[in-house]
Structure 1
Amino acid sequence: MRISIDTGVCIGAGQCALVSPDVFTQDDDGFGTVVPGREDGAGGPLVREAARACPVQAITVAD
């Protein structure tokens, strides 16, 4: 699976990092980002739940 965050849409709500902290974090400005090395979703059973929790649907998960 591939994970991406549309930085133009992200509002920095942080739901992704709360739901799946092993895959998502927040950058220095408070916006969501994928933890380096986790772009493939490895080790993240809650990745899809984090995408659903995003209030602006900024997260894309593709198989």
Structure 2
Amino acid sequence: MTFDDVLEQTSAYLAGEKDSITISNNWSQGRTVYGGISSAVLFACVADKITDERPIKTINVNF
């Protein structure tokens, strides 16, 4: 599974085409997935809600 595959699944989920997002074990880091993937999925979920008037310029994510 590639990074693009994860984002494609996220898009399909947001479009109502899927009920969940599955991330393969090769993205695992300990008990969960690599933090960058979690952050990318989160950003993909809110990206369409961002307006040109208030663009996101930075994201700070802590784990």
Q: TM-score, normalised by structure 1?
A: 0.26
More helix, by proportion:
2
Q: Which has the higher contact order (CA 8 A, sep 6+)?
A: 1
